[in-house]
């Protein structure tokens, strides 16, 4: 433990981000900033539904992020983000590290390095202090399904427990970003991007298995309303140290993800939302593939100065397949469908910090329905 504390302090001294106007150090074109979150949880406080494939959890007791922004000039910038989460002995890590080249090729800009997700809009705002209206992360950006990431799942063994553990696949993944490049063309009010990155839509775990290719198109209709669509194609099966023998090469199995998103605000209200349909080619599933659909809506209402109410409504459901390998058994969703509601009351005690009381309830649907509930009190301050 002492070794990790020392490592974290060294990283805190050398690594940083670029959010809002906060910062503990500034120089010519340079800013270092961060935030610290302390969280206390109750009810089903040991539930692991919010734990991602790295083992960290936004409800963990202590989370420290540091950010570094360096502007060499108006056309070349660098962003670095570091996270230390003290849950499950997770080591400190670099979550993002990329260069932004404005007018890289005439009107085309580029991001190069460990870049935010090139689909949807959550990765564009998940880094920033106080933009998430609740503590948790939208379900499809972290929830591990029961499809094994090595492709070994069969009809008879794919449906496991409610709280799945690694190596389950994700519909998409925001806990860490993939190494790649994104080209951006922005003829107002449109914004079009093409991305190529190592790994897959569900995370950087399949780095030896080809690349994720993506396209994202959005329109800013007015300052208050943006909408868009995106698509990603990637090879999703991870090479298995146990040498699972696949019928074909790993590069022959794809994950295709289709996404739509929006942002809307009026008066004291803000709304964000996304939907995703993800389909995996499945080597040992009789039907040849499985798919899942998920979506959420975030809301934020600033009802009096210094106070706001936040909420998120989540839904995830899975297509039906036979529960037997020979196809004679009953057809059921290949994982447990669920709905989630999360709400929070937030008091912004100062410009750099707020206190949040949060409730999250997850309802799994089956012949034996299950509810997992969590209450949390969180203190988050930027520096």
pTM confidence score: 0.88
Cβ neighbour number for residue 65 with a 10 Å cutoff: 23
At 156 the pLDDT is 93
Report whether 16 contacts 67 (CB < 8 A): yes
- List the structure tokens of 359: 């409730």
At 9 the pLDDT is 33
At 274 the pLDDT is 98
The SS3 call for residue 7 is: helix
Using alpha carbons only, how large is the chain's radius of gyration in Å? Answer: 21
CATH number of 2-382: 2.40.160.10
At 201 the pLDDT is 85
At 251 the pLDDT is 86
At 3 the pLDDT is 40
At 354 the pLDDT is 93
Contacts of 218 (CB under 8 A, 6+ apart): 121, 190, 191, 226, 227, 228, 229, 261
At 241 the pLDDT is 58
At 18 the pLDDT is 36
Domain ranges of the chain: 2-382
Report whether 143 contacts 336 (CB < 8 A): no
Q: Select from 159, 77, 150, 86 the least CA-distant residue to 113.
A: 77
At 269 the pLDDT is 97
pLDDT tens digits, the chain, 383 residues: what are they? 334 333 333 333 333 333 445 666 666 788 899 999 999 999 999 898 998 888 889 999 999 999 999 999 989 999 999 999 987 677 888 888 999 999 988 999 999 999 999 999 998 777 777 789 999 999 999 999 999 888 899 999 999 877 765 578 899 988 878 899 999 999 999 999 999 998 888 776 666 667 899 999 999 999 999 999 999 999 998 876 566 788 888 888 999 999 999 999 999 999 999 999 999 999 999 999 999 999 999 999 999 999 999 999 999 999 999 999 998 888 999 999 999 999 999 999 998 999 999 999 999 998 788 899 999 999 999 98
Any bridge partners for residue 276, and if so which?
Answer: 259, 294
Q: What CA–CA distance (Å, rounded) separates 333 from 319? A: 5
- List the structure tokens of 122: 């959550």
Which H or E run contains 316?
Answer: strand 307-318
The SS3 call for residue 329 is: coil
Phi, psi of 4 (to 5 degrees): -70, -35
């Amino acid at each position: 433990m002492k070794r990790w504390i020392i490592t974290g302090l060294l990283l805190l001294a050398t690594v940083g981000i670029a959010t809002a106007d906060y910062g503990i150090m500034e120089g010519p074109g340079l800013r270092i900033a961060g935030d610290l979150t302390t969280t206390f949880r109750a009810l089903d406080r040991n539930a692991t539904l919010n734990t991602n494939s790295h083992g960290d959890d936004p409800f963990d007791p202590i989370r420290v992020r540091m950010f570094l922004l360096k502007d060499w000039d108006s056309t070349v910038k660098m962003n670095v983000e570091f996270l230390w989460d003290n849950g499950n002995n997770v080591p400190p890590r670099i979550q993002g590290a990329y260069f932004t080249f404005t007018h890289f090729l005439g009107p085309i800009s580029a991001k190069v390095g460990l870049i935010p997700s090139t689909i949807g809009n959550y990765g564009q705002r998940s880094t920033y202090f106080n933009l998430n209206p609740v503590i948790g992360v939208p379900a499809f950006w972290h929830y591990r399904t029961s499809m094994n990431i090595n492709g070994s799942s069969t009809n008879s063994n794919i449906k496991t427990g409610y709280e799945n553990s690694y190596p389950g696949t994700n519909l998409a993944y925001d806990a860490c970003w993939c190494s790649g490049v994104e080209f951006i063309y922005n003829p107002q009010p449109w914004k079009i991007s093409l991305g190529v990155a190592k790994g897959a839509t569900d995370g950087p775990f399949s780095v030896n298995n080809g690349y994720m290719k993506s396209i994202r198109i959005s329109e800013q209709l007015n300052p208050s309303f943006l909408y868009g669509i995106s698509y990603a194609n990637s090879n999703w099966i991870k090479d298995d140290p146990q040498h699972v023998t696949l019928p074909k090469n790993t590069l022959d199995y794809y994950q295709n993800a289709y996404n739509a998103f929006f942002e809307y605000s009026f008066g004291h209200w803000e709304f964000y939302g996304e939907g995703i349909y993800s389909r995996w080619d499945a080597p040992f599933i009789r039907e040849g593939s499985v798919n899942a659909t998920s979506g959420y809506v975030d809301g934020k209402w600033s009802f009096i100065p210094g106070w706001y109410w936040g909420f998120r409504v989540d839904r995830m459901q899975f297509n039906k397949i036979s529960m037997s390998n020979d196809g004679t058994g009953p057809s059921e969703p290949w994982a447990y469908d669920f709905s989630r509601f999360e709400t929070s009351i937030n008091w912004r005690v100062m410009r750099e910090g707020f206190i949040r009381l949060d409730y999250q309830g997850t309802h799994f649907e089956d012949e034996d329905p299950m509810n997992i509930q969590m209450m949390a009190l969180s203190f988050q301050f930027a520096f």
